[in-house]
Each structure stands twice: as structure tokens, then as C-alpha cells.
Amino acid sequence: MSLPAPDPRPPLPTGFADKLAAIVGPKGVITDPADMLPYTEERRGNYQGATPVVLRPAATEEVAQIVSLCAHENVAIVPQGGNTGLTGASVTNGEILLNLGRLNKIRALDPQNFTMTVEAGCILAEAQRIAAEQDRLFPLSLGAEGSCQIGGNLSTNAGGTAVLRYGNIRELTLGLEVVLADGRIWNGLRGLRKDNTGYDLKHLFIGAEGSLGIITAAVLKLFPLPHERHTAFVALANVEAALELLALARQASADAVTACEYMPRIGIDFALRHNDTTRDPLAQPHDHYLLLELSASRPDSGMAEALETTLSQAFDKGLIADAAIANSDSQRQHLWLLREALVHGQASEGVSIKNDVAVPLSKIPQFLRRADQAVSLACPGVRPVAFGHLGDGNIHYNLSQPLGADGAAFHDRWRELTSLVSEIAMDLGGTFSAEHGIGLLKREALHHFKAPVEIDMMQRLKQALDPQGIMNPGKLL
Ligand SMILES: Cc1cc2nc3c(=O)[nH]c(=O)nc-3n(C[C@H](O)[C@H](O)[C@H](O)COP(=O)(O)OP(=O)(O)OC[C@H]3O[C@@H](n4cnc5c(N)ncnc54)[C@H](O)[C@@H]3O)c2cc1C
């Protein structure tokens, strides 16, 4: 069930792999195809990767030497973090695969400056853990946090479940260290919140999917560690009510809503059916649910009252049908488990076609109505499972195959059905890719939806920073 990929690259010059291997030493090179599999396999099975060599440098200098050598011989490189990306952006097609996983140190943590300096290969959950040890929060949080890496998060401008309160990783980054496409190292590791000294170059590399250079380290913003979290699982009359509930919660909590995740009933059914440890927190089934979380850095902050006030106001207005509030951390985790199990449950329901769209919040109900209608007309029996970061306007409008349908035939309709959904999101002033990026999967959509002037500016930047086109070729642009 592979989707189309660009033509493979030419073979490496003779003896070139040995020169690269000498830079990283035996611990940093993989040539056995079986050992390469975790790096070459794309997690959704949409693409099959192939590479002559996987390199795992352990220092920025090693990355610089590799890139310099590749630039000299005009050899292309695909940088890779945890390989959890969902658009085929770190799939190799004959290029060198440069995995950053060994470049994983925390270089510094400055609690007073509320910053940490982290190498690109640091696993996200590890960065969160180290910050928490110093009573600080690194707020980026997403389902793949146990395996994705800071460099991958930066290169996809990752979002996740706390964007509503803290922003995506672009907003959490103060400085970067980058190996440029000619092998030079740019040290922009400044921990400053104010620095108006010309173009803010770090933003070029954030969200660039490795197409402009290789990020080797970053200075990230930290926040006070929350010592209180109040979480509710709320059943709603409709999606409009979800938006009203969010507005009430923001008002009542002095804007301390940390997460606002939407789930439809079909998603809860998937979670309950495929994960034995989940249970429905409410007595009756409902069509729409919101997982709402407020947090505060000090105990007795009034957040518990804010949540109760919100829910009682919402009941009075007829917005919500039922609600469960977590009274302990284990209850809270159980509510979040439903959200995670929904994603895994969908995989057990056969083939699913994924969309990662965003629209202005006020347009979400309209988007869902129009998208449901369009996909049902195009593919009778299709099961839309629209869930996600409602507080950011970001809906993962996934489509599970009709019951009993041929999975491969359904998968063949990926482009057609994602185009239908993307067109509706774009028509409502939205985007066809909210947080997963472009990679291989959405290149056509990028060229279709972006104005020629935007594509032209992007191509000029690419030409300026990577004139040989050796950085992750064929992705993004
Ligand atoms: C279960 C699950 C849940 C997810 N939830 C979310 C979510 O809520 N929000 C979200 O935004 N994403 C989500 N994702 C997508 C994915 O986890 C993110 O895109 C993540 O940021 C990718 O990090 P990675 O280290 O795995 O990068 P990879 O997949 O290895 O690479 C992604 C891109 O970054 C480039 N890259 C990697 N490292 C570097 C580097 N050091 N320098 C330059 N380029 C580099 C690669 O070439 C590629 O283009 C989810 C994925 C899964 C599997």
C-alpha cells in the first residue's frame, strides 16, 4: 500500500561510506539492512525507505564533518530524529540517513532564566523529566513523546495537547545551533526573550523538515511546574456547545485551560473496544465529548472552583449533558488514556485515511458538518473519526474504512478523500496541515493550495541555504 515517492538517488561514490564511518566510529554506523529497519521503516507503512548507510553522530562537530564531506561530493542527506513523523518526511530514498539519537545531552538548565539547552537527539519525555526535576515545565506534550526527539519536534514545529496554553515548539524556542548545508556550524544558542538584531534566523529552520540544515541543539523556554491539575470529561449536546464551554472555562480560570481535546462517540467506542483497561466514565453514551484540563503552578489556586463553576454554568445553559471530574491522578490518567486509546483503537479498525486540518475555532462545527456530508457522499459507509486539539482549531479528521470494505481499495482513495477534506478546510480559512507538516505525503497539496508567491519565496530560501539541494531532497517542496 505504498504511496508514490520520488526517484531513487544515485549510488554513493566508491569508498565514500567508509570515509563517513570513520567520522562517527563503529558505534555510529549501521550498514546491516536488518539493523537499519527501525530507521528505514515508515510508521504508517505508506513508504518503504532505503539507504546505503545509517550514521549516528554523537557530537555537533561530527555532524558538521559529515555534512561537509557530503557537500563536497554532492551526496544527499536525510536527517532523522525518532522517526515518529506522520508524513514520510524522514524516509530515505537512497540518501545517507543521519539519525540524531546519540546527540542527546542536556547541555544546561538555567532555572532562573527558565531555559534549558538541549541537544537535538534528546527524547522529548526526557527533556520534560529533567525540567521537572528542577521544578520547571517544558510544556510540549504529544502522543509520541516517549520516542520523538527535540530536533524532530523543532523540524516539524510540533504542536500537541498544550498549544492552547503554551504555544507550539516555535513559540517555545529561544535559540538554535544548526549545521548548515555547507558544513558550517551556526551557533545561535541565545537564551534571550528580546533580541531585535535583524532577521530571526532560527525560525527558518523550525518547521523546515530538515530541508535547510541540521538542527543540533536548542535553547527551550521553561515554565513553572504545575502543582495542580483539574481534568474533566464532558459530554456535550453538540460541537457548538464545546466552543461555548471552552470560552466559559477560559473566562472562569483566568485563561488557565491547558488542554481541550475533542472526541466523538465513535472514537470512545474504538478505545473501549480495543483497550481492556479503558472504561466509559459516564453512565450513558453521548455523541460528543471534551477532555478539558486546567492547571496552576501553586496549590489552592482556585482552579478546582473554576472548573466547577464552568461546568455548572454550562449545565445551566444546557450545553452539557453529563460530566466526570477526575478526583485523583489515577482518575486523570484514565481520562487521558481514552484519548490515547482512541488513536490506537482506530488502527485496529482497519485502514484509516488521516487528515490533520485546522480552521478558525468558530468554523469547526461548519467544517465537521460539511466534511461529514462530503465524505459520506463520496464513500458511503466511511466512518469519520474526527478528534483532536479543538482548542487550537486542529482536528484530526480521520476516516476509518467502511465495515467489511476492502482495506487496500480504501487506501487507494487516500488522495481523493484527503483532497475533499482539505478543500473544505481551506474554503473555511483553514489549513490542510496543522501540525504534522508536509514531508512526502502533502507535497502535492502544498503546491496546490499555497499561492505561487509563497512557493517562490520558499524555493528562494531553499536555494539560498542549500544551493546543491542535498538537505532532505524531495520533501516539503
Ligand atoms: C502517536 C503519535 C502521536 C502524535 N501526536 C502529535 C501531536 O499531537 N502533535 C504533533 O505535532 N505531532 C504529533 N505526532 C507526529 C510526530 O510525533 C511529530 O511530528 C514529532 O515532532 C516528530 O519527531 P521525530 O523526532 O520523530 O522526527 P522524525 O519523524 O524523525 O522527523 C521528522 C522531520 O524532522 C526532520 N528532522 C528530524 N530531526 C532533525 C534535526 N535534528 N535537524 C533537522 N531536521 C530534522 C526529518 O528529516 C523529518 O523531516 C504524533 C506521532 C505519533 C506517532
pLDDT per residue over 37-94, tens digit each?
999 999 888 888 999 999 999 999 999 999 999 999 999 999 999 999 999 999 999 9
- pLDDT at residue number 3: 63
Nine cell digits for residue 378: 463520496
What is the three-class DSSP state of 342? helix
> Do strands 96-99 and 352-353 pair parallel, antiparallel, or not at all (unpaired)?
unpaired
Q: Is the pLDDT of residue 467 over 80?
A: yes
DSSP 410-474: HHTTHHHHHHHHHHHHHHTT-BSBSSS--TTTTHHHHHHHS-HHHHHHHHHHHHHH-TT--BSTT
Q: Which is the closest atom of ligand 1 to the Cα of 43?
A: 53
Cell of 334: 484514565
**Quick one: cell of 449?**
493550495
- Assigned C-alpha cell, 231: 481534568
C-alpha cell at position 80: 532523522
Residue 196 has φ and ψ, to the nearest 5°, of -95, 75
Q: What is the mean pLDDT of residues 339-364?
A: 96
| Straight-line distance from the first to the last Cα atom of the chain, in angstroms, rounded to the nearest whole number | 23
Residue of 66, 77, 87, 90 to test ligand 1 pocket, by largest number of atoms within 8 Å of CB? 90
Residues touching ligand 1 (Cβ under 6 Å) are 43, 78-86, 89-90, 100, 120, 142-144, 148-149, 151-153, 155-156, 158-160, 209-210, 214-215, 343, 435-436, 472, 475
Return the ∠ at Cα 400 (arms to 394 and 402), rounded to 5°. Answer: 145
Atom 9 in ligand 1: which residue has the minimum CA distance?
160
What is d(CA 2, CA 326) in angstroms, rounded to the nearest whole number? 43
Alpha-carbon gap, residue 235 to 287, rounded angstroms = 8
Cβ neighbour number for residue 204 with a 10 Å cutoff? 16
Residue entry with cell 515545565:
137
Q: Are 99 and 84 in contact (CB under 8 A)?
A: no
Report d(CA 148, CA 143) in Å as an integer: 9
Query: 272 with 280: CB under 8 angstroms?
Result: yes
Q: What is the residue with the minimal CA distance to atom 21 of ligand 1?
A: 153
The answer to whether 79 and 100 have CB atoms below 8 angstroms apart is yes
What does the pLDDT average to over 377-383?
98
Please give the grid coordinates belonging to residue 146. 516517549
Question: Would you say 134 and 109 are in contact if contact means Cβ atoms under 8 Å apart?
Answer: yes
How far is 254 from 275, CA to CA, in rounded Å?
A: 36
pLDDT at 1 over 60: no
Which residue among 156, 178, 476, 477 is best mutated to probe the pocket of ligand 1, counting the most ligand atoms within 8 A of its Cβ? 156
pLDDT value of position 9 = 80
Q: Residues 472, 89: contact at Cβ < 8 Å?
A: yes
* Residue-level pLDDT at 5: 66
Q: Tell me how far the alpha carbon of residue 196 is from its chain's centroid.
A: 29
Q: What percent of the chain has pLDDT over 90?
A: 95
Query: pTM surpassing 0.85?
Result: yes
